[in-house]
Amino acid sequence: MDKVKERIKSHEGFRDTVYSDSLGFATIGYGHLVLPDDPYVEGVVYPKNDLEKVFDNDFKIALRSAESLLEGIDHNEDIKGVIVEMCFQLGKPRVMKFKKMWEGLKEKDMQKMASEMIDSNWHKQTTKRCESLAEIIANTYI
């Protein structure tokens, strides 16, 4: 999963201050959504080491979410990595809504899975990221 962590970090980028993401949500570090209980304040610079710990926690949540979604479905590490990254960015509830993508995976039709990823609002919001993950799926076999 180290490769997946690095890919997420590359896609997210890093900021040590609170910023607005592409949808206008307060975010910090490697794409951490600032929640009401979080201690982060706009204009304050936070240590990278502290934000790395936040990333590790967010990654663990995404990993558990992906494992739960993939339970009982044939998959390989590439597919798992893509689902982990989707859960990291979108959250488990939103990833669950990709009904036709999940159908493609269950049918072992990677082209369908990839095209359903592209045929989404997610693709409109983060085009390059979605396309790079769909390409991984299109080029994998189970």
* Number of domains into which the chain is organized: 1
pLDDT of residue 22: 81
Return the CATH number at 76: 1.10.530.40
pLDDT of residue 23: 84
> In 10 A of CB 72, how many CB atoms?
6
Which of 13, 77, 16 is closest to 41 using CA atoms?
16
Residue type, 38: D
Domain that holds residue 26: 2-138
Query: What band does 142 get if pLDDT is binned at 50, 70 and 90?
Result: confident
Instruction: Please check the confidence at residue 74 and state whether its pLDDT lies above 90.
Output: yes
User: What is the percent of the chain where pLDDT is above 90?
Assistant: 97
Which of 48, 50, 49 is closest to 38 using CA atoms?
50
C-alpha span between 23 and 25 (Å, rounded): 6
C-alpha span between 104 and 114 (Å, rounded): 8
Cα angle: 71, vertex 73, 75; to 5 degrees = 105
What are the structure tokens assigned to 120, written together?
């989404």
